[in-house]
Structure 1
């Protein structure tokens, strides 16, 4: 077998040292060449500290726990027959960790169980287990500290502001008197019979008031409240009762000359407002106006009768003749929306229909000058409207009159006498000053109209007038309008 030549440089690097003829050290433990030792000899102090004692009995180091002197573990990996044959028994001793007994199987299972167990609240908060008693003591301490802080804060807050204190306010003893006839009693009895009248349509809308006067659902109100609904069928008219219930309303009849109208709703067992005697009223009597001023339904305002037999002549729009009635004047607050609502006396009876006010300005508003149509007159008109749907009035046959004031007389000057009318037939001339009709003194033109309408059609009425400074009495037979 032929071997290749060895490079001298590689042989010097990788070849055996001089004097070494094999790959293994000598078995006697001595090296052929002492210079080949890779580690210096240990220090004398280390040798003395870690070498075997001089009276070495063969005792081994790091015997397992539980072995007695002189005994060797049969399973020791260093001295058993299966020990590493290449271990050098002459090497220095190695100090390792102490030998421990093997953990019991139960302990290993407990550790595994603890590793998979969920943490309790004490362990989560404090990182370890805490006794229940310690938690209770801690909670008590926290509560005591919190309570003490609250008491201190309360004391500071109470003493820090001298304007606040702990007081008990006096309470009025429940003993309000609402005897029969009081305003509260009247309001309770009257309110269910008063309605708000609402009009809604593409061209007009508005709010007024009315009073139920018959169990069949008839409601009395002002003509100017429902006039637009009577002329325009596209406008829907609704009556709203105190409890909020609503009912569609239809026009039964209306009278532009007296500003009265009657409408009807389909309701079951309505509360009816009873008519009173307006002729029994006296100036100073207590009256209450009820209605929906400015849309505020079921509003009650108290006042007195300021005057009686106050004639009103109010121009009417739409080509209708002027409104004329002998009004009750009151200072009870009446505003827009009260129109058509009732004026009741101290017994809760209907004594007037609120119709007109003297406004404070163009925008309206009460100044304590309100006027209502007397109930005796309104009841007569309402009965006629329910029966016939329209009303005829007596006329004297004078289209225009003017007021007259002189040193010796006051009255209404006749003008524009209607041809073949009652005045012409009776002999009344242009310029005559009418001062009395029947038993009613005439002071102005509105009073002439209401004085005539106080009589029946066809009645013969004595009329006192002044002509050329002389007073004359002429009988006039009233005609129908």
Structure 2
């Protein structure tokens, strides 16, 4: 029999020296897959744990053998706590590991009696152990490449200057930088100051324009200065309403012509208080001389006003399309307003009423693109010589303001109607006694007769209902409004040829308009 007394661990354990020992059980380790090893094994060159200060263990599967423990600075300064050692250290006499010698596998040994554990004894006395965190006197160098380390706190100005937290070299560098910045700023300031001194001077001379300017004069301004003294602002008031417009002086005795809708405030009143404000600011009350609703004209008269400037009336029949014109008035209460434009059209029949009878408010207007707004009504439309060629009376607009479609009563009509109002206080117009409407069926364009009054000039001349009037005298008729103005222009008590279309045929008739 072999003597096993020399086997380590056999002495003092009561083994039978004659009892044969069994061979150790074979170690069967599972094969480690290369992919798993690549994922979970230690990186190349690492032999210990990843936690700082841990010794290399040479664990299985790492490919490195067991080696001696390498003490770190943290381990060197660590003080073992006897309380924690008692609580978590190995049982005395049980060895440091959990392995058993093969000779013990058949040994049935009774476990040692448990030692009293103060951590599990509620009656154990209370004690204090060593601090869990020990102050490190010599800290390890900081790895500046790591991103998980919080940055050091920045120094304040007082700490840097008065607590000597910076070295002399750093303070000297900061002082040099401040000096360089100051020098650069001073240089820039000097350059700017020199530039400012170049741009300013104490000898300033501003050239004034000469009294006479070469080239064409201000024609519009010269014409406006001559005509404006004859233009007045008319203010109308009643207990329930107030309005204003414009007018022109046509007679040195104080006669002023304006629109009928200005003095009646668009028909809101028949009698109202009327004041006239002249170009020099003087004011005088005015009385109604007469008005003609059919042509939207009215004549006023002021008393006790001397040295009136009278407007010069021109000839509206000689006005041409494209001719330069000027409008003067008080649009929106802005007195002495001058606008400029051209004549856009002549003989433009414009109905100021809604009916289609020959007693409507219809004018044979001059169309202009000079700006005309509310308040210009009754003011003059003058040509380049300063002569009045029309009285501004209406606009076409969708916004309430001027869109370049203004209309003026021709001054030749104004002269005749104003003369009748100043001499007789009333005026009558030529009529043939029909009601008409516009006809346009693609083959014929004119004024279709709706009805003929009994005993009228139209009935005596042979006009019938359904006839389409296409011409009165030498003037073509394209609408019922144009029929009205054509008859008025033809005059009364004279035979006038009238061309009509009846049952598809053209018929020539003769009609004598009468005053109505």
Which TM-score bucket, shorter chain as reference? Answer: 0.5 to 0.7
Q: Tell me, yes or no, if structure 1 residue 384 matches structure 2 residue 417.
A: no
Task: Tell me which residue corresponds to 1:249.
Answer: 286
Query: CA 1:416/1:160 → structure 2, altered by over 3 Å: closer, same or farther?
Result: farther
CA offsets 1:344-381 (integer angstroms, 9 cap, x no match)? 000000100001100132xx100000000111111011
For 2:484 and 2:427, locate their aligned partners in 1 and report how far apart those are by CA, in whole Å.
Answer: 16
1:166 corresponds to: 200
CA contact (8 A) 1:199 1:229 kept: no
Match of 2:173 in 1: none
Corresponding residue of 2:411: 375
Q: Structure 1's 331 and 433: CA in aligned 2 closer, same or farther, altered over 3 A?
A: same
Computed over aligned residues only, the root mean square deviation of the Cα atoms, in angstroms, reads 2.7
> Is the 8 Å Cα contact of residues 392 and 407 (structure 2) preserved in structure 1?
yes
Give the TM-score normalised by structure 1. Answer: 0.63
The 2-side partners of 1:166 and 1:346 are apart by 48
Residue 216 of structure 1 aligns to a residue in which SS? Answer: coil
Distance 1:227 1:413, change over 3 A: same
Deviations 1:319-357 (A, max 9, x none): 995211111000000000000000000000010000110
CA offset digits 1:73-127 (Å, max 9, x no partner): xxxxxxxxxxxxxxxxxxxxxxxxxxxxxxxxxxxxxxxxxxxxxxxxxxxxxxx
- Residue matched to 1:310: 348
Change over 3 Å in CA distance of 1:383–1:453 after alignment to 2: same
Aligned to 2:159: none
Contact 1:360-1:366 at 8 Å conserved across structures: no
**1:407, CA displacement in angstroms?**
3.4
Cα deviation digits, residues 301-332 of structure 1 (max 9, x gap): 00000111111112169x99521111100000
Gaps of 5+ in 1: 1-154
Distance in 1 between residues matched to 2:195 and 2:287, nearest whole Å: 67
Work out which of the residue numbers 275, 282, 301 in structure 1 matches 2:339.
301
Residue 191 (structure 1) aligns with: 228
Structure 2 counterparts to residues 12-31 of structure 1, below 5 A: none
Q: Secondary structure at 2:251's aligned position in 1?
A: coil
Give yes or no for contact 2:264–2:271 (8 Å, CA) kept in 1: no
TM-score (norm 2): 0.59
Q: Structure 2: any 5+ residue segments left out of the alignment?
A: 1-188
Which of the residues 448, 458, 465 maps onto 1:413? 448
Compared CA separation, residues 263 and 231, structure 1 to 2 (3 A): farther
Query: Shift in Å at residue 459 of structure 1?
Result: 1.8
The answer on whether the counterparts of 1:411 and 1:435 sit within 8 Å (CA) in structure 2 is yes
After TM superposition, give the deviation of residue 173 of structure 1 in Å.
2.2
CA displacement 1:121-143 (0-9 Å, x = unmatched): xxxxxxxxxxxxxxxxxxxxxxx
Counterpart residue number, 2:245: 208
Q: 1:178, 1:184 within 8 Å by CA — same for their partners in 2?
A: no
1:468 paired residue number: 503
Find out whether 1:357 has 2:409 as its counterpart: no
List structure 1 runs of 4+ shifted beyond 4 angstroms.
160-165, 167-170, 177-181, 228-234
Q: Quote the residue 2:307 is aligned against.
A: 269
Distance (Å, rounded) in 1 between the aligned partners of 2:358 and 2:450: 19
Change (3 A) 1:177 1:322: farther
- Alignment partners' CA distance in 1, 2:301 and 2:214: 38
| 1:152-204: CA deviation from partner (whole Å, max 9, x where unpaired) | xxx99x83996994265854522346977811111111110000000122111
Which residue of structure 1 lines up, in the alignment, with residue 493 of structure 2?
A: 458
Aligned CA distance change for structure 1 residues 229 and 386 (closer, same or farther; 3 Å): farther
Q: How many residue pairs align between the two structures? A: 323
Task: Give the secondary structure class of the aligned counterpart of 1:454.
Answer: helix
How far apart are residue 229 of structure 1 and its match? 10
